[in-house]
Amino acid sequence: MEEQNKRKSIIYLTIGVLTLIALIAGATYAYFQAQTENNAVANLNTTTGTTDNLTFSTDGNILINASADNFGENMGDRVSTATANATLIPNNTTNNASDTYNVYLAIKENTFVYTTGESTPELILSVKKDGEYYQIKNEDQKENISIQYKKKGQEALTTETIKGYDITTKDGLIKIAEGETITANEKQEIDNWEIKIILKNLISDQNNNTGKTFNGKIIIQKEKLADSAVDLSGNGYNGTFENGAVAIPDEEGNIGVYFDGIDDYVDIVDLPDTIDWESGFNVEFEAKWLAFNKYSRIFEASNGPNSNNIYIANTNYSSNLVLSVYGKGKGHVISSGQLLLNEKNVVKMTYTKTETGYNLNTNINGVDQPVITHTPLLTNITRTSNYMGKSNWSIDGYFNGYIYNLKITDSTGKPIIWYDFSK
């Protein structure tokens, strides 16, 4: 009997040891599975047997340059092509899946023009999905382009029909596909996209396009891109993208409104006199300057030059930050902090009313700047010339870079305007 009890004890002890080893091994495995380089937490959802996996890839940019060396009589068309794909892998439980995604062409620069009096299309967008021509759902684009031109030595016109869309002078965002459905049954499904830009050689005088450039980026992702500035404060102070301003991911994948520094801006609706600027306000924004153009604006609210202006910009052509107000008196409040070029800047500004004026507290990229005293008093008045990226003074430059978000609150912390282009 004693021998039998010893055997049972040994068996129980063995089971306990094995259980403990399994628990430690499982915990250790789970720990390492949940870690990546730099201790970042991995996305475990995509590896489970009950989660569908939708991924994207693209080779990205489309670039066309026209020069005397590559685009002239009998030199043929200039063509640039990019590819993108969406891959859906169904989970192991149901073996089928369905999802949606979006495909865009974001035009960062397009300086091409029509060189014929008939406005014959010269820059053409053509899209294929899985090898078949794809009709984009865009009301202002007409497909099946008919082009007529004379070949050398011929008197008769040559007519050529191209399945595509005239984008000769197009800028901003082209929605190639929004809410595109992908379905996978038992095995993975891949949607393959080919986006082609054709600079058509009309075998005529196209010298006006010599030196011109088209620079576009293919974006394929789950989320829709913003096509306007929607005010998240609930006050309805929305803005429209003008002259090609476009919400796109930057090189690091952060979505912001891209401004080309030439003429892009966001036009914001009228701001009423019920906004209490006079009691002070707070500003938070994230932005990346690609160039310090002259007094290039993050934001301006006003009624024109020297007329109740409130603006935030870089100072002159420098990297210094300025808050300027025009009301009962005028003046600049220049921060001593240096903005970074080609990097995201995180800025917080608090404009606090005092008995004699205002104090400006500024934090640039985590560094507090010296407090600055400012005496001009603001006026609560309706402002009708309100922008992001643009000044009310014609001598100032346009903003060149990305604005990711902008939030302005009153002295109590209540939002006045709030844009976040990652949402």
Region 291-303: what's the mean pLDDT? 97
Region 97-115: what's the mean pLDDT? 93
Task: Look over the chain and give the mean of its residue pLDDT values, rounded to a whole number.
Answer: 84
Does residue 146 register a pLDDT over 90?
A: no
- All structural domains of the chain with their residue ranges: 2-42, 53-221, 228-420
pLDDT, residue 139, reads 47
Confidence of residue 377 (pLDDT cuts 50, 70, 90): confident
Q: Where are the beta strands (DSSP E) in 66-151?
A: 78-89, 96-110, 123-129, 132-133, 145-149
Q: Which amino acid is at 398?
A: Y
pLDDT, residue 149, reads 60
User: Which of 7-16, 192-201, 218-227, 288-297 is the least confident region?
Assistant: 7-16
| Residue pLDDT, tens place only, 274-284 | 999 999 999 99
Does residue 204 register a pLDDT over 80?
A: no
Confidence of residue 34 (pLDDT cuts 50, 70, 90): very low
CA quadruple 349, 354, 357, 359: dihedral positive or negative?
negative
Region 361-369: what's the mean pLDDT? 94
Does residue 33 register a pLDDT over 50?
A: no
Share of the chain above pLDDT 90, in %: 60
Confidence of residue 336 (pLDDT cuts 50, 70, 90): low
Does residue 144 register a pLDDT over 50?
A: yes
CA distance 35 to 28: 11
β-bridge mates for residue 256, sequence order: 248
What is the DSSP code string of 308-348? S-EEEEE-TTSSEEEEEEEEBEEEEEEEEEEPPBSSEEEEE
Confidence of residue 143 (pLDDT cuts 50, 70, 90): low
Q: Which residues of 305-344 are buried (b: 16+ CB within 10 A; e: fewer)?
A: eeebbbbbbbbeeeebbbbbbbbeeeebbbbebebeeeeb
Residue 404, burial from CB neighbour count under 10 angstroms (0-12, 13-18, 19+):
buried
Confidence of residue 423 (pLDDT cuts 50, 70, 90): low
User: Which of 148-152, 326-330, 381-385 is the least confident region?
Assistant: 148-152
The CATH number that domain 228-420 falls under is 2.60.120.200
Check: CB of residue 402 under 8 Å from CB of residue 285: no
Confidence of residue 43 (pLDDT cuts 50, 70, 90): very low
Whether the predicted model's global pTM rises above the 0.85 cut: no
CA quadruple 144, 146, 147, 150: dihedral positive or negative?
positive
Does residue 331 register a pLDDT over 70?
A: no
